[in-house]
């Protein structure tokens, strides 16, 4: 019976065989005696191996669960029907997730992501809103077993944050999160208004693909101005005695990347360079008009009329994505990181578009 059910289960629609072939190819590459002659390339290869190994292992586990469920169903045991229904529902959710993942075929979709949040129009309320979005994305990343690192944060004077930059590491992190690029709008009774009036706040979310130090972006050290300073906390007060924070300015473009969240100046410099490479890649892609929408899209101001999604907490609860018209009534769940339905709907809506 076991072999009979196995023969009826196929993952070819998800190109599972291609993933296994890629894994085998990279495994052979790691066995090369001269692998570590170039440490940067070797580290990149090992990261790709680890990422692809997780993908393939996940497929094998899902396949085995499906086989077990088929065999359990064949027993036709009423006592086990409840457990079987739960397992089938979980399997369906997992297949749906992988179906969405199959839509991610862009050049950088499999890569890690750098996500930046900037408070927009709305003062203290918008800075508080930016911190709420930061929490939402951190919770989402945690639910997907992604590793996160806050590279830089600019605290608000009274509450919240003016901006933050987060590194999110995991397979397809950029592919998923690119659906979040744009202005996010919050409507609620302001906790900072003594009259308890309703306020509208805005925050801009940027998502960039992480690029490695080699290959994609070439940076001349002579084009960089590197400044160090003391890390600052809320209100601008110094929180470090030494100049550990780093600001890197790319002189030809004027792009500035900062990092102050690590105690080590060298770590902050490395992280700032990571952000700078991502932003320079963004510029390169903007220069190629046919790939403009894939990487970042047009710059838009974080204010009324430009929002991609609205989060309404008063006078009713509703989160609505204005690009797909998809909406959910449980705003608290969304703010707790449950944004997969919005990501899925957006990705499906873009099928066939130039990405």
Q: What is the CATH number of the domain that holds 68?
A: 1.20.58
Across the range 320-343, mean pLDDT stands at 96
Domains of the chain: total: 1
Q: How much is the pLDDT for 120?
A: 92
Q: How much is the pLDDT for 8?
A: 40
Q: Are strands 182-189 and 318-321 parallel, antiparallel or unpaired?
A: unpaired
Full residue range of the structural domain in which residue 18 is found: 2-102
Q: In what helix (H) or strand (E) does residue 88 lie, and over which residues does it extend?
A: helix 81-102
Under 8 Å CB-to-CB from 202, ≥6 apart: which residues?
119, 120, 121, 122, 126, 129, 183, 184, 185, 186, 302, 303, 304, 307
Q: Is 53 part of any domain? A: yes
Q: Is 75 part of any domain? A: yes
CA distance 228 to 247: 6
pLDDT, tens digit, 9 for 90 and up, residues 48-92: 788 788 778 877 888 888 888 888 888 888 878 888 888 888 888
What are residue 148's DSSP bridge partners? 168
- Comparing 61-70, 158-167, 295-304, 325-334, the range with the smallest average pLDDT is 295-304
**CA dist 10 to 7, 64, 157, 173, Å?**
8, 12, 56, 26
CA distance 30 to 55: 18
Who has greater pLDDT, 234 or 29? 29
Q: Is 271 part of any domain? A: no
Q: How much is the pLDDT for 260?
A: 86
Give the model's confidence band at 106: pLDDT under 50 very low, under 70 low, under 90 confident, else very high: confident
Q: Are strands 307-312 and 182-189 parallel, antiparallel or unpaired?
A: parallel
pLDDT, tens digit, 9 for 90 and up, residues 175-220: 999 999 999 999 999 999 888 889 999 999 999 998 765 556 778 8
Q: Is 73 part of any domain? A: yes
Who has greater pLDDT, 95 or 338? 338
Q: Is 39 part of any domain? A: yes
Q: Is 116 part of any domain? A: no
């Amino acid at each position: 019976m076991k072999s009979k059910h196995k023969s009826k289960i196929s993952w070819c629609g998800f190109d599972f065989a291609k993933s296994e072939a890629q894994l085998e190819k990279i495994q052979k590459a790691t066995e090369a005696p001269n692998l570590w002659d170039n440490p940067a390339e070797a580290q990149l290869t090992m990261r790709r191996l680890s990422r692809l190994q997780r993908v393939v292992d996940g497929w094998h586990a899902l396949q085995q669960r499906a086989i077990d469920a088929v065999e359990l169903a064949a027993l036709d045991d009423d006592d086990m029907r409840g457990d079987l229904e739960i397992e089938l529902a979980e399997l369906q959710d997992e297949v749906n997730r992988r179906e969405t993942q199959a839509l991610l075929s862009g050049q950088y979709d499999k890569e890690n992501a750098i996500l930046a949040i900037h408070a927009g129009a709305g003062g203290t309320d918008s800075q508080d809103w930016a911190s709420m979005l930061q929490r939402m994305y951190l919770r989402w990343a945690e639910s997907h077993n992604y590793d996160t690192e806050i590279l830089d944060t600019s605290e608000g004077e009274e509450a919240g944050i003016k901006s933050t930059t987060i590194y999110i590491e995991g397979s397809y992190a950029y592919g998923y999160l690119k659906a979040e690029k744009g202005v996010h709008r919050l409507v609620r009774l302001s906790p900072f208004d003594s009259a308890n009036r309703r306020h509208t706040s805005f925050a801009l979310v940027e998502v960039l693909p992480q690029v490695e130090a080699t290959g994609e972006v070439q940076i001349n050290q002579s084009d960089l101005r590197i400044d160090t300073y003391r890390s600052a906390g809320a209100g601008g007060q110094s929180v470090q005695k030494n100049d550990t924070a780093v600001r890197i300015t790319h002189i030809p473009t004027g792009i500035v990347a900062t990092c102050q969240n690590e105690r080590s100046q060298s770590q902050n410099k490395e992280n700032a360079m990571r952000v700078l490479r991502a932003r320079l890649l963004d510029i390169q892609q903007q220069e190629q008009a046919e790939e403009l929408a894939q990487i970042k899209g047009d710059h838009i101001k974080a204010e009324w009329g430009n929002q991609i999604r609205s989060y309404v907490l008063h006078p009713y609860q509703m989160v609505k994505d204005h690009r797909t018209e998809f909406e959910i009534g449980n705003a608290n769940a969304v703010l707790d990181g449950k944004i997969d339905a919005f990501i899925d709907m957006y990705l499906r809506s873009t099928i066939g578009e130039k990405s």
